[in-house]
Amino acid sequence: MADTISPTTPSEKTTGRTKGVGRIIVMLYAILALAAAWRSGFQILTKFDDAPVAFSLSAVSAVVYIIATFALAIPGRRAWKTAVVAVWFELIGVLVIGAWSLLVPDLFSESTVWSTFGIGYGFIPLILPVIGLYWLYKHRPAPLG
């Protein structure tokens, strides 16, 4: 019988991406995912007309955090690539929305997770993707072949 190819090789499972500091990073992403999802869900359901841009952006951040959480927690090359894309998206989002919220504050009558660079969350949305990207690149899967 032919050998089946597993989506993860033993070396990918033992890279340490989800051990030690990696577990803390996953936990922080999970907390942000829950906080952003709860916040945006509540705001969209109760007062969406007050600040549709801000509340929609909070929902986008929740989706990004959920994707990043699962991608960081799952071993394998595909999950690693997904995590890299999600965390880069997060960093760019924090920088763009953070600057936008300072330059055009009228659009943000209510704050978002990423407005003013995540000040409402202790700047964790600004700091965490930098740490996350460093960790991901440090624990990248070995090249195939």
Query: What is residue 115's DSSP assignment?
Result: G
The reported pLDDT for the residue numbered 3 is: 46
pLDDT (tens digit, 0 to 9) for every residue of the chain, 145 residues total?
444 444 554 444 545 666 788 999 999 999 999 999 999 999 999 999 998 999 999 999 999 999 999 999 999 999 999 999 999 999 999 999 999 999 998 888 899 999 999 999 999 999 999 999 999 999 988 777 6
- Report angle CA 13, 67, 81 to the nearest 5 degrees: 50
Give the Cα separation of 60 and 112 in Å (integer). Answer: 10
